[in-house]
Amino acid sequence: MDYIHLREMQFFGYHGVLPEETKLGQRFRASVSLAVDIQQAGLTDELNDTVSYVGVYDICKEIIEGTPYKLIEAVAEKIATTILSIYEGQVFGCKVEVIKPDPPIPGHYKEVAVEIVRGRFYE
């Protein structure tokens, strides 16, 4: 199995449970890994033989900058299910990480994040 990775995409959205999150918004980062077969694209050098990472980026942007969700778990799930639906037959598995670098909780930490895996991944 081959993989396409989009790492550390950055967006601004209004997801969260607390009122200040949905009113003021905040930064989000997302990383996506796609389990695909890209051998043909490597041989032909043709975009039609692979999954466009521009299309995947646009999906992530639309979801993260779009309709607010309370939980980043829901954001990650929406990204994964949308990618698997749009690229059915091309993407066999999808790993999505959604990172909230500045959640409004007290304490010292780098960030909070969720990571989900949907579909099939082969090692």
User: Is 100 a known active-site residue?
Assistant: yes
Name the active-site residue from 23, 78, 100, 110.
100
**Environment class of residue 45 by beta-carbon count within 10 Å: exposed (0-12), middle (13-18) or buried (19+)?**
exposed
Q: Which residues are catalytic?
A: 100
